[in-house]
């Protein structure tokens, strides 16, 4: 296994860099208005097509935490981790049909603006500040750290900080052009991501086939994976019993079988795709039909993502299990270990795919940070009379400051991202607020009685209960209750699966918010006006939805 790039790899990577940069500059130069108009800078002024919206959603979503973290969980648990991607496809259908019409009809451009419009300014300010901290210190830092760590490993392990700075600069350059540049360059990014990712998966399966004496055949390699690691090809993990090993219990703690589909899995996906500035921003500037088709296109792309980011992890598991990958030290090194086997040129393409995913996510996250700070804090509380050009420049300065903070906190991994495991780190710390935020958005959209007081109580309750169930419930309430079962975590304590914690926190948060709202008026003055026509879908939209559901049904039936 070689971790040194050949001349061919470098040429392929340079071509990728030049093409993306040149295309981004061409998009920017076509419309100079982006330098002075906030709607154009932050929302692309509705100029993104459905395919650009869909591609941008995927490019911003798929990053180092998927390539490295989800591949690592594929190595550890198997295909069950694909639930995060496949349930997301259903979540995107729900967002496209029911959430986006509400945002667009009420001219919502940021998530704090939604909270101010539906509840009050206090709720909006609290969440704007919270989201800024979350995006900078959890999302931006983890994407940058994991991405730099992965690429550095492929370069021999001596260039971590150089790679970190290079990724940051590339992302900043794209972000400074505004959402239109981000959206259209993401089309190239996601194309490189898919082509390079599929090439890596193909080579990983071919490598397995060769090592098992089956010739140069990717399909035979996939068959070898299923035969050698059948436990890695079940979507639903059985509940542990007294005879279960600690390793199996640890897997169940990450993906708690059928129960996760009745609890936190939906909250994770619906909150991420429907209540997240980082994601929804791509569709908020478009008309309803374009936004819907873009979101549904992203849902179709999500179905294939496990092939790109998870199968290489399972291949790494089988190869190591049979003595063909002795240098693999941890699950988060699985994807990089596979890349080390790729031939010259193809390795460069795969690294370009990984870089595309990282840079697109960094750019998208930085743009969202910039949007929230500029429109929801700076314009509202610092400079209410700021001109458009001033707001755009404030947004650009915010991008640079956010990236500098991310570099400072990832330079020596001050947040301990490497110790947690990349995918787990992001899901866990984002998940602490997901129940409260999703309850607040869900009731705010569809129940006219929900009050601002209930929203604040929901945020506090959701966060508090998530922490309680995750950290203290097994000690305070015991290991077995009506609501949960806690399992030994191998560290001397007991733990409730985190997705179950999220489900419980969401349920009790909803109860608290409903109880508080019942004490208020029957119809909150700030409630949204809904009509059935908002949610009516076209025949073309229905066809995409049916195709998506049929594909997902086939996958779950096959790998249940």
The DSSP element (H or E) to which 550 belongs, if any, is helix 539-559
Determine how many CB atoms are found less than 10 A away from the CB of residue 280: 25
Strand partners, 487: 495
pLDDT > 50? residue 413: yes
- Give the model's confidence band at 19: pLDDT under 50 very low, under 70 low, under 90 confident, else very high: confident
pLDDT > 80? residue 408: yes
Ranked by mean pLDDT, which of 22-26, 124-128, 436-440, 526-530 comes out on top? 436-440
Chain centroid to Cα 290, Å, comes to 22
- Give the model's confidence band at 439: pLDDT under 50 very low, under 70 low, under 90 confident, else very high: very high
- Give the model's confidence band at 6: pLDDT under 50 very low, under 70 low, under 90 confident, else very high: confident
Q: Which domains does the chain have, with CATH numbers?
A: 7-24+49-431+530-559 (1.20.1730.10)
Beta strands 487-488 and 494-495 are antiparallel
User: What is the per-residue pLDDT for 1?
Assistant: 45
User: What is the per-residue pLDDT for 553?
Assistant: 95
Task: Give the least confident one: 141-155, 172-186, 196-210, 349-363.
Answer: 172-186
User: What is the per-residue pLDDT for 34?
Assistant: 47
Record the tokens describing residue 547, joined without a space: 């195709």
User: What is the per-residue pLDDT for 158?
Assistant: 79
User: What is the per-residue pLDDT for 334?
Assistant: 82
Q: 3-class secondary structure for 243-303?
A: CCCHHHHHHHHHCCHHHHHCCHHHHHHHHHHHCCHHHHCCCCCCCHHHHHHHHHHHHHHHH
What pTM does this model have? Answer: 0.86
Dist CA 127 CA 452 (whole Å): 13
Strand partners, 485: 480
pLDDT tens digits, 220-279: 999 999 999 998 999 999 999 888 899 899 889 888 988 888 888 899 899 989 998 877
pLDDT > 90? residue 555: yes
Residue pair 328/337 in contact by the 8 Å Cβ criterion? yes
Q: Tell the residue number behind the tokens 């729900």, with chain if given.
A: 94
């Amino acid at each position: 296994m070689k971790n040194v790039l050949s001349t061919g790899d470098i040429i392929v990577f340079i071509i990728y860099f030049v093409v993306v940069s040149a295309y981004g500059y061409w998009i920017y130069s076509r419309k100079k208005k982006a330098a002075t108009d906030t709607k154009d800078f932050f929302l692309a002024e509705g100029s993104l097509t459905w395919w650009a919206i869909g591609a941008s959603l995927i490019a911003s979503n798929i990053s180092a935490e998927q390539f490295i973290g989800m591949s690592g969980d594929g190595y550890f648990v198997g295909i069950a981790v694909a639930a995060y991607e496949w349930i997301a496809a259903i979540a995107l259908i729900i967002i496209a049909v029911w959430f986006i019409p509400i945002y667009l009809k009420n001219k919502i451009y940021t998530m704090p603006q939604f909270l101010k419009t539906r509840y009050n300014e206090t709720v909006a300010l609290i969440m704007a500040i919270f989201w800024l901290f979350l995006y900078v210190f959890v999302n931006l830092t983890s994407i940058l750290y994991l991405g730099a760590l992965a690429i550095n490993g492929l370069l021999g392990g001596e260039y971590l900080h150089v790679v970190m700075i290079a990724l940051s600069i590339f992302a900043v350059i794209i972000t400074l052009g505004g959402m239109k540049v981000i959206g259209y360059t993401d089309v190239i990014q996601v194309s490189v991501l898919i082509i390079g990712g599929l090439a890596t998966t193909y080579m990983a399966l071919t490598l397995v086939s060769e090592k098992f004496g089956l010739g140069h055949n990717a399909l035979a390699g996939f068959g070898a994976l299923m035969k050698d690691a059948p436990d890695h090809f079940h979507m639903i993990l059985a509940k542990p019993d007294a005879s279960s090993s600690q390793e199996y219990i640890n897997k169940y703690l990450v993906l708690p079988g059928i129960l996760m589909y009745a609890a936190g899995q939906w909250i994770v996906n619906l909150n991420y795709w429907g209540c997240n500035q980082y994601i929804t921003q791509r569709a908020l500037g478009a008309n309803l039909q374009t936004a819907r088709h873009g979101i549904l296109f992203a849902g179709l792309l999500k179905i294939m993502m496990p092939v790109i980011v998870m199968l290489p992890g399972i291949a790494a598991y089988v190869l190591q299990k049979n003595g063909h990958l002795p240098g693999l030290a941890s699950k988060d090194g699985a994807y990089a270990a596979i890349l080390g086997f790729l031939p010259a040129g193809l390795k460069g393409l795969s690294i370009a795919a990984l870089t595309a995913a990282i840079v697109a996510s960094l750019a998208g996250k930085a743009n969202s940070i910039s949007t929230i700070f500029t429109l929801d804090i700076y314009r509202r509380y610092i400079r209410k009379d700021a001109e458009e050009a001033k707001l755009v420049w404030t947004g650009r300065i915010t991008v640079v400051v956010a990236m500098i903070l991310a570099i400072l906190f990832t330079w020596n991994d001050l947040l301990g991202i490497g110790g947690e495991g990349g995918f787990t780190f992001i899901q866990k710390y984002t998940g602490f607020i997901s129940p409260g935020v999703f309850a607040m958005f869900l009731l705010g959209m569809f129940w006219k009685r929900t009050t601002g007081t209930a929203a604040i109580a929901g945020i506090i309750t959701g966060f508090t209960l998530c922490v309680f169930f995750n950290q203290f419930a097994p000690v305070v309430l015991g290991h077995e209750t009506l609501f949960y079962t806690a399992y030994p975590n191998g560290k001397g304590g007991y733990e409730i699966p985190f997705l179950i914690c999220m489900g419980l926190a969401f349920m009790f948060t909803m109860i608290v918010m409903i109880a508080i709202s019942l004490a208020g008026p029957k119809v909150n003055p700030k409630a949204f006006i809904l009509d059935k026509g908002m949610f009516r879908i076209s025949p073309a939209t229905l066809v995409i939805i049916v195709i998506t559901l049929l594909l997902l049904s086939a996958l779950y039936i096959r790998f249940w």
